[in-house]
Amino acid sequence: MEDVVPEIPESQRSAIESFVAARRALSARDPQPDWFWLWKDTVDASTFVDGSIPGDYACPPIGTMRSILPFFDVGSRVESPERRARVPVKSVVGSSWRWHEGSLPSGARGSVVSAIEFFTDAECAEAGGRGANVCLVNPLGIFYVSGEGKNRVAFLARHGVELMPCLLSERSYPTAERLELVAVREGLLSCWLCVLDSNLAVPIPYPEFTLPILEAYGVRRSKWRTEWPMLATVMNSFRMQRGEDLEVVRHSTSEPIHFGLLKAREEAARLTPLSVRLPLYSHRRLDRKPNYVRNVFIVFAALFVGFWVFERSQAMLGLGGLLGVMAMLAVPIGVRADERTDAEVALLAADACSNIERGLDEAQRSLRAES
């Protein structure tokens, strides 16, 4: 059985271990300072806090990974067979179910020593029975329990066990060069977005966890680019996903927004040509400037002809006027397209879906090409 300890920079390993330790602390029964409880109230119980809901409840580790790692779902299981291995407990995200660090996990019997022996036995790296299923997010270097074995992780960490036997699989993740971290401010709202391939964006719900991991991984910070859609359009799109909730960056993940498609929607929303019905012409859209002087001249010319031909007869004057109006309407009237303001364009172009499936397909194809 091999020991799988990813060869990653020490700063990256430290960031991962710090996050895993912080997540475990959220469900620990140990005394904590006041600031910790205030901070704990800001995180989503269904994502982090084991046992926060009455009854038999455990937070699925994969939900934690989706909240912490932007574009986690872009990756996929690496096409390699599962293998028996031992993995570093400090880098494994687990989840307790009716148990906590100071108690014996489900399935354990007897003393703490016997429980440790039970969960570090080679049989725990076998499929079925008491085996643990763990997945490595490669090349990030963080592990999570993908099936059975969630309960034992915190227990083993509590008692200083360094390696845990498991049946190990791997999962891919975008390289650091494909990702960017962007700090944005929109009105009173400040948040972080992660951009993939300069074309897909998601908000980062928990930057206190995500930023240290991704920056140690090598992801760079960037500023908003002019070739991207307007920031207001992007944030409006995230709000539409969340039912107009202004807190678009907390408590749950959002679907990716496709920059290319939003940019096209902005261009379409920028101009508003009017449709004009003309008696002798079909519906037509015109974008040239109205020629009011020409149209008024036609009316007066028609009236003058009416006076001259019909010798100023009142009846003929009315007929001449009618002919003049008809002549004016028979000429295409130009209508200038009014340009909408940026705020109006941002509202009209926002799209909660933004063709998410297309954007993810593009990203996944790129990831497979890298592999």
Task: State the Cα torsion 66-69-75-78 to the nearest 10°.
Answer: -100
Phi, psi of 158, deg, nearest 5: -60, -35
Same domain, 99 and 242: no
Supply 114's token pair.
């016997």
* Vertex 82 angle, CA 77 and 88, to 5°: 90
Say whether both 182 and 152 belong to one domain.
Answer: no
Confidence of residue 216 (pLDDT cuts 50, 70, 90): very high
Q: Is the model more confident about 79 or about 115?
A: 115
Shared-domain flag, residues 42 and 154: yes
Are 132 and 167 within 8 A, CB to CB? yes
Q: Are residues 59 and 43 part of one domain?
A: yes
Query: pLDDT band for position 282 (50/70/90)?
Result: very low
- Amino acid (one-letter) located at 297: F
Whether residue 291 sits in one domain with residue 247: no
Position of tokens 């009854």?
55
Domain-located, residue 227: yes
Mean pLDDT, rounded, for 272-285: 46
Check whether the bond before 139 is cis (ω within 30° of 0).
Answer: yes
Q: What is the reported pLDDT for 286?
A: 45
102/100 Cα distance (integer angstroms):
6
Residue position matching structure tokens 């022996």? 117
Q: In angstroms, rounded to a whole number, what is the distance separating the alpha carbons of residues 273 and 254?
A: 34
Q: Are 171 and 77 in contact (CB under 8 A)?
A: yes
| pTM of the shown model | 0.74
Check residue 355 and give its pLDDT: 64
pLDDT tier for residue 287 given thresholds of 50, 70 and 90 = very low
The string of pLDDT tens digits covering residues 85-123 is 999 999 999 887 655 555 665 555 567 888 888 888 888
d(CA 70, CA 343): 28
Range 174-179 average pLDDT: 93
Containing structural domain, residue 293: 275-329
Of 152-161, 215-224, 285-294, the one with minimum mean pLDDT is 285-294
Do 20 and 26 form a contact (C-beta atoms < 8 A)?
A: no
Q: What is the pLDDT of residue 115?
A: 81
- Average pLDDT for the chain: 77
Question: How many distinct structural domains can be found in the chain?
Answer: 3
Please indicate, yes or no, whether residues 302 and 159 belong to a single structural domain of this protein: no
Tell me the pLDDT tens digit for each residue of 297-345.
666 676 666 666 655 566 666 666 666 666 555 555 555 555 677 777 7
| Contact (Cβ atoms closer than 8 angstroms) between residue 263 and residue 229 | yes
Indicate whether 130 and 252 sit together in one domain: no
Among candidate residues 173, 188, 223, the one where a domain is terminated: 173
Q: Closest Cα partner for 292 from 334, 257, 253? A: 334
pLDDT of residue 58: 67
